[in-house]
Amino acid sequence: MQTKAIFTVDVEDWFHAAVMQRHLSTIPDFKPRHRLAHNLAALKDWLEGKGATATFFCLSSLTPEVNAQLRALSDAGHEIASHGHSHTSLSQLNPLSLKQELEISKDILEQLTGCPVRGFRAPNFSITDQAIDAIAAAGYQYDSSVYDVPWHPGYGKLVHQKMGDKPYRFSNGLLELPLSIWRKSGLSIPMAGGAYIRHFPPGLFKKAALQLARAGYFHFYMHPWEFDQDHPIPPKLRILDRVRHFRNIKQLPIRLDALSSKMQFTSIAHFIGEHPTT
Ligand SMILES: [Zn+2]
């Protein structure tokens, strides 16, 4: 049997990315071109061509066209989970607005798909200690926001709860499905996909991913805009941001094909179903 790995998607448009939100806020009246429906359809086709399922962490404030696609994804056996409503980092929300984000997004996505929403992922991995209890209180069964990269300034850092790189439970019983880390020579190297599969040498990423998957847990994630071969480039984007967002974007489908030839991608729901003791 082929080695299995978790495949997750943060369902948002290109202008929701932190780099773009920062840049576009400096351009008054900029009207971004919506690309999500096109990219989501391409990603769905790619997954189905591989016989794979995935978990889609979705914003609940997307267009009616995308909402119809979420229903179709759910009907096709993929898992729909929550990425919040407004894509606001959890550290910027007060307790009431955090509660509302968690409850509103769950409710809207459940009405869209007719299926229970079990999982939550914080925008930009901005998990906080307070959010762990709020996520459980809102009725979620698992979280998938822990990305244990101590040197990354943007990712959330838990102080009172454990940060790990394999499935575990927080002290309140909430299950965590963290993003993958490659521990090498005392370093914590983020190895969960997204930007990293584009920026790292492809041979290195594939080797590390396979090593992790064969050890029992490899969790890959990406955004639909990373699949966009005609991605719009906004004016006056800083060179560093341009590299970060666009580097090797045309290589991603090729690198994903190579990765999927070595492992079978599956959703978190299926992974939990096959590992009932997690
Ligand atoms: Zn996001």
pLDDT in tens, 181-208: 999 888 889 999 888 999 999 999 999 9
Range 4-274 has CATH code 3.40.50.880: no
Q: Is the pLDDT of residue 131 over 80?
A: yes
Cα(88) to ligand 1 centroid in Å equals 9
Nearest to 14 by CA among 23, 1, 27: 23
pTM of the predicted model as reported, rounded to 2 decimal places: 0.95
Q: Tell me the pLDDT tens digit for each residue of 80-117.
A: 999 999 999 999 999 999 999 999 999 999 999 999 99
Q: Tokens 């009616």 appear where?
A: 64
State the distance from the centre of ligand 1 to the C-alpha of 123, rounded, in angstroms.
4
Distance from Cα 71 to the centre of ligand 1, integer Å: 20
Q: How far is the CA of 124 from the centre of ligand 1 (A)?
A: 5
* Residue 24 host element (H or E): helix 18-24
- What distance in angstroms lies between residue 27's CA and the mean position of ligand 1's atoms? 21
Q: How many whole angstroms from 76 Cα to the centroid of ligand 1? A: 23
Question: So where are the chain's domains?
Answer: 4-274
**258 alpha carbon to ligand 1 midpoint, in Å?**
25
- Amino acid type, 197: I
Distance CA 173, CA 233 (A): 43
